[in-house]
Amino acid sequence: MSTYNTILLEKKNRIAFITINRPDVLNALNSEVMTELASLIAELDSDPEIAVSVLTGAGRAFAAGADIKEMESHSFVSMYMEDYFSKWDRFAAARKPVIAAVNGFALGGGCELAMMCDVIIASEKAKFGQPEIKLGVSPGMGGSQRLTKAVGKAKAMDLVLTGRMIDATEADRIGLVSRVVAADDLMTIATEAAEAIASYSIPVIMANKEMVSASLELPTTEGVRFERRLFQALFSTQDQKEGMNAFVSKRDADFRDK
């Protein structure tokens, strides 16, 4: 496993705990964070000992946006030639689930990063927003697309065009987050969710994530067909046999990721 400068990593009980560790700048997402998270998620996808990850931020922010100081001097040509933000596509393409434990500010790129994750568990102190318009730009890490898919056009337009910040209660009401919990309970509940996921078969976890993710891209009929094929394919696994036999036998399943 690689050594990282901007993130912390702990592995425990088939769970990877990842912390963005730039609290002095509210975990602003610079190129190094992007590169390190993209690299790490690729490593975790191929790690047979990891079933799920939990991502959070150090201090009082999850991530309060992209690093503006790093971007300020860029031109269109430099942004275009570097394909700036493109490494986030690798993070978003993670095959294993990622739970965002949003402890504080998740603004701009931070909100976009949370939306790249599969489950968003928010502290009651969390704040969300896409304030890029205030800087003379727009979302650039997928915010206009994922936000609209999550909350609908009306709410997305409101947030993107006004740049306003919303609290966890409103984020929950509009469907942006999965759960809102007490601040002191955030990591406990995120860990419990991760433990529940990690108790299942890794290939089955990955298949379930894949079919839900596909629903955002496919027409309903084609999506149902895709779901059905994956469902059928899982009958070739040992874990399907074990899971169903355990259910019939009224015992706990012993999954082996096969």
Annotation marks residue 109 as catalytic: yes
- CA dist 152 to 144, 145, 149, 155, Å? 11, 10, 6, 6
- CA dist 90 to 34, 41, 67, 171, 250, Å? 10, 8, 19, 26, 41
Going by their DSSP bridges, the two strands 98-102 and 119-123 should be labelled as parallel
Annotation marks residue 217 as catalytic: no
Q: Which among 63, 94, 132, 227 is annotated as catalytic?
A: 132
Alpha carbon distance 230, 208 (integer Å): 8
Q: Which among 63, 64, 66, 193 is annotated as catalytic?
A: 66
- Residue 136 has a CB neighbour count (10 Å cut-off) of 6
- Pull the structure tokens for residue 99: 């739970």
Is 126 exposed, middle or buried (CB count within 10 Å of its CB: 0-12, 13-18, 19+)?
Answer: buried
Q: Which among 112, 129, 171, 198 is annotated as catalytic?
A: 112
Residues 6+ apart with CB under 8 A from 50: 11, 14, 15, 16, 44, 96
Are 92 and 141 in contact by the 8 Å Cβ rule? The answer is: no
Q: Which among 109, 110, 142, 243 is annotated as catalytic?
A: 109
Annotation marks residue 132 as catalytic: yes
- Mind telling me the catalytic residues? 66, 109, 112, 132
